[in-house]
Amino acid sequence: MKIIAIGAVTAGGKTTLVNAIKDKLTRTASLHFDDYSFDGEVNDFYKWVSDGANYNVWDLSPLKADIEKIINSDRYDYLLLDYPFAYQNKMIKDYLDCCIFIDTPLDIALARKVLRDMKESSADDIRYEMDVYLKYARIAYVQMLQDILPISDYVIDGTKELKIIINEAVEIILKC
């Protein structure tokens, strides 16, 4: 079985791509980072980056356990991880056969996040979130571009049409 991590900044297209690939490749399972709660999970990303951006503060034991269950089930050819850290977390890195990073510009990712998560929000709430993004959250996205993108095995342009991104990712997965 091949295990492929799909990474991107928040709202960069990870979940959309993983779900689309599962529709194209049979015998494919997926796990989604956002479905878990982890010990050591970071709440203050500004402080986390300022303190050195240690990706190992997350105890990814629940994700690791689920990866092992899927491996041991012998039911799948591929396991896709909707997972932002590529090879940076020591608990997961040795399971990965390859990492794909969707390089989505921060302005596009931010617009997607607002459209996805703030449909019912007031203008004041949206302005507040933009202020938080600029003061505290953006630094973590930039850190990810510095730490995760360069160590990923493949980078896909996140500005391309979704069907092109899907096709490129499937080609990569088939040769991993």
For 1, the token pair is 């079985």
Q: Which of 144, 176, 173, 175 is nearest to 24 (CA)?
A: 173
Give the mean model confidence (pLDDT) for residues 160-166.
96
Token readout for 28 is 């494919």
Q: Supply 165's token pair.
A: 């991104």
Could you tell me the CA-to-CA distances from 61 to 48, 55, 89, 149, 154 in Å, in that order? 20, 14, 11, 24, 26
Q: What domains are defined for the chain? A: 2-175 (3.40.50.300)
Name the band, by pLDDT with cuts 50, 70 and 90, for residue 71.
very high
Residues in contact with 11: Cβ distance below 8 Å, sequence separation at least 6, in sequence order: 104, 109, 110, 112, 113, 116
pLDDT per residue as tens digits for the range 100-120: 999 999 999 999 999 999 999
The pLDDT of residue 19 is 96
Relative to beta strand 78-82, strand 98-103 is: unpaired
| Three state DSSP letters for 116-176 | HHCCCCCHHHHHHHHHHHHHHHHHHHHHHHHHCHHHCCEEEECCCCHHHHHHHHHHHHHHC
β-bridge mates for residue 101, sequence order: 7, 155
**Average pLDDT value for residue range 62-77:** 97
Rounded average pLDDT over 92-107 = 97
